[in-house]
């Protein structure tokens, strides 16, 4: 059991579509365990396998309960997930990503989705989600297809975000004094 290194924008694996998981065994369960640990350590609400360097169709999510917004908590590991229904209604909301730390962009997505997947034991799951959970499920599924939230931004907004990202990266490098 370990905290894994999170791949950052620019890494090839983030742009590589994941392969279906075919074996549901102890190894998968311990990978899921590592993914939850890594996600909590990085204080995220979702983490997909490509983000830790594995081209697999698998992600973990933990959207906390929020009484003010009338939202129930949802925690799961979803294997080979698919969206089988999406609402025509869309909404815009800010999104970030553990692989593009410090950056945020407003992304338009369907308000609600129905997702089917397997749990780490291979049992089928069906999730009807709306609001933040629906957004998280769509964001994580994108990762399994090599898609990042910045791909959903307008060309101008993407350009601005990438410029800010490169500036922040360059500054971080300067701060690291050579030994």
Q: Distance between CA atoms of 175 and 156, rounded to whole angstroms?
A: 29
Cβ 109 to Co ion shortest distance, Å? 13
| Residue 140 appears among annotated catalytic residues | yes
User: Which residue's beta carbon is nearest to the bound Co ion?
Assistant: 97
Q: Of 74-82, 91-99, 127-135, 160-168, which part binds Co ion (CB under 5 A)?
A: 91-99
Give the alpha-carbon dihedral of 46, 51, 57, 59, to 10 degrees: -20
Cβ 148 to Co ion shortest distance, Å? 7
Cβ 53 to Co ion shortest distance, Å? 14
- Report which of 109, 114, 107 is spatially closest to residue 129, judged by C-alpha positions: 114
| Tokens, residue 59 | 């992600």
Active-site residue among 140, 166, 173, 175? 140
- Encoded one letter per residue, x for contact with Co ion by CB under 5 A and - for no contact, window 51-90 reads ----------------------------------------
- Report which of 117, 111, 101, 113 is spatially closest to residue 149, judged by C-alpha positions: 101
CB proximity list for 120: less than 8 A, separation 6 or greater? 24, 28, 29, 32, 77, 79
Asked if 97 touches Co ion (CB under 5 A), the answer is yes
Tell me which residues are annotated as active site: 140
Q: What is the binding site for Co ion (CB under 5 A)?
A: 97
């Amino acid at each position: 059991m370990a905290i894994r290194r999170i791949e950052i924008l620019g890494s090839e694996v983030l742009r590589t579509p994941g392969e279906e998981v075919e074996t549901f065994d102890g190894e998968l369960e311990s990978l899921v365990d590592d993914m939850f640990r890594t996600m909590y350590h990085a204080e995220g609400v979702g983490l997909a396998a490509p983000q830790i360097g594995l081209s697999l169709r698998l992600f973990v999510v933990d959207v906390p309960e929020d009484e003010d917004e009338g939202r129930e908590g949802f925690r799961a590991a979803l294997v080979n997930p698919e969206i089988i229904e999406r609402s025509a209604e869309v909404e815009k909301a800010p999104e970030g990503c553990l692989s593009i730390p410090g950056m945020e962009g407003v992304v338009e997505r369907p308000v609600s989705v129905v997702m089917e997947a397997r749990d780490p034991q291979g049992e089928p799951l069906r999730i009807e989600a709306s609001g933040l959970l629906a957004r998280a499920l769509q964001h994580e599924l994108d990762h399994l297809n090599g898609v990042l939230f910045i791909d959903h931004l307008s060309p101008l907004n993407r350009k601005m975000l990438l410029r800010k990202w490169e500036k922040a990266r360059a500054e971080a490098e300067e701060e690291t004094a050579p030994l």
